[in-house]
Amino acid sequence: MSTLVTSPTRLPASPLGTSGFVALAVLILGSIALVLTFGPAKGALFLVGGGLGIALYHASFGFTSAWRVFILDGRGRGLRAQMVLLALTVLLFFPFLASGMLFGHEVRGLVSPLGTSVIIGAFMFGLGMQLGGGCASGTLFTAGGGNARMLVTLFFFIVGSVLATIHFDWWVSLPSLAPYSLVSLGAPAGIAVSLALFALIAGLTVIVEKRRHNTLESAPEAPRHGLKRYLRGPWPLLAGAVALAVLNFATLAIAGRPWGITSAFALWGAKAVQLVGVDPSAWGYWQKPGNAAALQGSVFADVTSVMDFGIIAGAMLAASLAGRFAPNFRIPARSLLAAAIGGILLGYGARIAYGCNIGAYFSGIASGSLHGWLWAVAAFAGNILGVRMRPFFFGEARASVARNDGA
């Protein structure tokens, strides 16, 4: 994920401000409209998305920067927070995924094949993370928080997503292994295996960090404390991990499946090309029953779209509460080029890899899917290349690359 590229001007006005009132109104009125039009579940999921946007922004919960900082500096605090996030979510998910029921409703995980398309798509996505300046969730929450450059990344993210749907059938026809979930071992065994893997990764980050720096990095001193800190930020990383785990569990309970992001981008792009006379329904991706229904219906009937809209509104509200909603449209040309290239890589890679850092990595691993682990390895490799390419686009000294473009 990515925070603002430039330091935003703090707003001296009220704690909420005009942008905050707009975001709050969108969340309240939008949820009411969705309840009346599409039912209580859609309204609730819109608010869950809003909560995710607030948590992502206030905690600056990083995927992109956490990986970049570890690659460059050997600092693993962000990666360890991700392991806590995954551990909490596995503990919440596995018992109910094993039974197939949660609060009397059917639930299923996001489990996909382990194939060539996952390796290539995740590598592309990892490269795009570093050039685009964020991942899927990072693009949404930073765009909603006022980062104008991330609007460019988001636009090309959508373009890349649509392009991938044209070639989707070819990619998934490449060699692959059948989907497999650790949940099939039984909830206790699946949890034990998952927790052992998380502990191993966290332990490795500790070893690397201590070898390079002798001590582990401490969390920075917070400028606010108590209730004010949780209202206006910044949150501790672990508070962000808990919030994201709980809200993903809420998504599972309401939607019947975990949190995802990028399928909505493909849908928005397909709707856009329909407006200019192109018929995406001829492409194999849109002939699958669920995708065909989404293409024919309203975007507000699509669960992923509704939650994405909520994330943007929630992040805008959080940025306003923090006094940091101040869009800056003066973006260097090379940075814009990186946003465009990165966005296309993000969108294309996410589609052919069956998801992004949320749908494949977070929710995939939380579902026990081995494709989530394969995704993580390939995406990390893409991040390594992306980190090496960043100085050309951003003019950053190697030592400062890790800190200038956020979460």
pTM attached to this predicted model: 0.91
Percent of the chain clearing pLDDT 70 (strictly above) = 93
Q: Which residues pair with 114 in a beta bridge?
A: 177
pLDDT at 388: 95
What residues are paired with 165 via a beta bridge?
none
Distances (CA, A) of 285 to 169, 172, 269: 7, 10, 13
Asked if residue 234 has a cis previous peptide bond (ω within 30° of 0), the answer is: yes
Residue 396 pLDDT level (bands cut at 50, 70, 90): low
* Stretch 163-180: mean pLDDT: 96
Amino acid at 192: A
CA 123 to chain centre: 16
Tell me the mean pLDDT in the region 181-202: 98
Residue 330 pLDDT: 86
The Cα angle at residue 143 between residues 59 and 28, in degrees rounded to 5: 80
Distance CA 387, CA 190 (A): 34
Amino acid 52: pLDDT: 97
**Nearest to residue 355, comparing CAs of 141, 125, 168, 134?**
125
E strand or H helix at 293, and its extent? Answer: helix 289-296
pLDDT, residue 385, reads 97
pLDDT 10s digits, 321-368: 988 887 888 889 999 999 999 999 999 999 999 999 999 999 999 999
* pLDDT value of residue 84: 97
Rounded CA-CA distance 202/396 in Å is 29
Residue 383 confidence (pLDDT) above 60: yes
Whether the CB-CB separation of 205 and 76 falls below 8 Å is answered with yes
Tokens of 252: 């599972």
Predicted confidence (pLDDT) per residue in 126-140, tens digit: 999 999 999 989 899
- Write down the mean pLDDT value for the chain: 91
Which pLDDT band, with edges at 50, 70 and 90, does 38 fall under? very high
* Helices and strands counted in the chain (H then E): 16, 4
Position 401 scores a pLDDT of 41
Contacts of 265 (CB under 8 A, 6+ apart): 154, 157, 158, 161, 308, 347, 350
- Dist. CA 378–CA 375, nearest whole Å: 5
What are the tens digits of pLDDT across the range 222-240? 888 888 888 888 999 999 9
pLDDT digits (tens, 9 = 90+) for 107-125: 999 999 999 999 999 999 9
Q: What is the pLDDT of residue 7?
A: 40
**Alpha carbons 73 and 153: distance in angstroms, whole number:** 26
What is the Cα gyration radius of the chain? 20
Q: Is the pLDDT of residue 382 over 90?
A: yes
The amino acid that residue 236 corresponds to is P
Which residues contact residue 173 at a Cβ distance below 8 angstroms, ignoring those fewer than 6 apart? none
pLDDT at 247: 98
Tell me the percentage of the chain whose pLDDT exceeds 90. Answer: 80
pLDDT at 221: 85
How far is it, in rounded angstroms, from Cα 162 to Cα 271? 10
Name which residue leads in pLDDT, 401 or 63: 63
Q: Who wins on pLDDT, 142 or 378? A: 378
* 395's tokens: 């003019």
Q: Is 70 exceeded by the pLDDT of residue 307?
A: yes
Specify the pLDDT at position 227: 85
> Over the stretch 49-89, which tens digit does the pLDDT of each residue have?
999 999 999 998 879 999 999 999 999 999 999 999 999 99
User: In this predicted model, what pLDDT tens digit does every residue of 250-294 receive, in sequence order?
Assistant: 999 999 999 999 999 999 999 999 999 999 999 999 999 999 999
Evaluate if residue 397 carries a pLDDT over 60.
Answer: no
